[in-house]
Amino acid sequence: MPRPGPRTTYRYSDEFKATAVKLSRLRGVKVGDVAESLCIHPFMLSRWRKQARDGEIVTKGVEVDKAVAAELKELRQVKRDYERLKVEHDLLKKAIAFTSARRPRSSPSSSTAKKGGRSE
C-alpha cells in the first residue's frame, strides 16, 4: 500500500548515472552492492545500465575513483565472509544444543557400585 502524501522523486545527473554504471561494470562487483553503496534501488541502476547499452547515457570519459572501486570490492569480500561466519555460527549452535541435549548414560557396573554392589 503506498504511503499517503506527496511522493519524493530524486533526479540524478547524467554524470552520477554514468559513474554508477561504470562502477557496476567492474569485475567482482555486484549491481546490488553498487546500488546499496549509492543509496539507490538496484532496479534503477539496472535501468541505467540498459540506457547506457542503448546509448542514452554516455559512459565514455567518466573516470571511476579507484578508492571507491576498491571499497566496493572490499565490501563484497566482507559480505561473503560474514555469510560464511553466520553459517558456521549456526552450525556450532546446533552442535552445542545437540550435545547438551544428550544425557550421559552411566554404565550398569557403575550403578551397582554406587548402590553398594559387592564389597569384598
pLDDT in tens, 47-101: 999 988 888 877 777 777 777 777 777 877 888 899 999 999 999 999 998 888 8
Say which residues have a Cβ less than 8 Å from residue 6's Cβ, sequence separation at least 6. Answer: none
Asked if residue 73 lies in contact with residue 28, where contact means CB atoms within 8 angstroms, the answer is yes
- Give Dmax over CA atoms of the chain in angstroms: 99
Of 13, 32, 16, the residue nearest 24 (C-alpha): 32
Domain with 71 in it:
14-99
Q: How far is CA 38 from CA 15, 21, 64, 67, in A?
A: 14, 11, 14, 14
Query: Domain count of the chain?
Result: 1
| Per-residue confidence (pLDDT) for residue 104, from 0 to 100 | 64
Residue 4 lies in a domain: no
Asked if residue 8 lies in contact with residue 41, where contact means CB atoms within 8 angstroms, the answer is no
Residue 2 lies in a domain: no
pTM of the model: 0.51
